[in-house]
Structure 1
């Protein structure tokens, strides 16, 4: 059986985005309405500037007592997020997320077109298990090599 790609496994096939001057409150509302854990921060027509996630809202806004109605998403977003192509295998994407400590990967197609965001929730347990095995193997090799 061929492994699924990130594009095949995405639960949200639309791009959820806001401009850099939108407020954090607007981002939270957009994400809540769409039942989505992230929003891409873009400048027209298709320039990806960053990403704001649920975790960003908690750690960069709430924990710092910032006013969500007055704080712009550009102040709390992750700038220039790592992206993957639509052909990336799910297990490869999960390895990237585990090793880098994040849960969302924008998917960029030919010509730099943003196709959506792959979430760790889109991965099946067997793919997460396979990625964990690869990560554990990498750690073992790194430890052995010093």
Structure 2
């Protein structure tokens, strides 16, 4: 299976954006992370957890605190032509829940999350179960 289904526009931020702006984007788009870019290329990621731990818990002002102070640089990414299996392995091996998808030039084309893959795999298993239930003759050996 291909990662192309997750190449919907990733929500992005620049290093100079405020963390309040990023929080509003997360709220407006119902997401938990934004990809930080420079000239369209992935340079970092900011999660809702980052905002809580690095801004709010530290008593910083979100209206003046810039992304550059809370970003996690050099996030693990996945190439757009890689498989879902590769994305799963990267998430497991790197202990991450989100992978920006990039083209050959490092430009962001989307993002795939652990929740996305869990939903996909759950549906695949449900479809398999229906197929077994509906197509197995009771006289056959199970």
TM-score class, shorter-chain normalisation, is 0.7 to 0.9
RMSD: 2.0
Contact kept, 8 Å, 1:31 with 1:37, in 2: the verdict is yes
Alignment of 1:1-20 (within 5 A): 4-8=1-5, 10=6, 13-20=8-15
1:7-62 deviation line (CA, Å, top 9, x unaligned):
32x2x701311211111110000111111221111223x23221111121122222
User: In the alignment, is the contact (CA less than 8 A) between 1:91 and 1:127 conserved in 2?
Assistant: no
Distance 1:68 1:47, change over 3 A: same
Structure 2 counterparts to residues 20-99 of structure 1, below 5 A: 20-44=15-39, 46-99=40-93
Supply the distance in 2 between the matched residues of 1:126 and 1:114 (Cα, whole angstroms). 22
How many aligned positions are there? 122
- Partner Cα separation in structure 2 for residue 23 and residue 60 of structure 1: 13
State the distance in 2 between where 1:127 and 1:113 align.
Answer: 27
The SS at the match of 1:107 is: strand
| TM-score, length-scaled by structure 1 | 0.73
Larger Rg: 2
- The worse-fitting range, judged by mean Cα deviation, of 80-89 and 94-103 is 94-103
Per-residue deviation at 1:67? 1.6
The gaps in structure 1 that reach 5 residues or longer are 129-146
Q: 2:125 matched to which residue of 1?
A: none
Describe the SS at the equivalent of 1:115.
Answer: strand
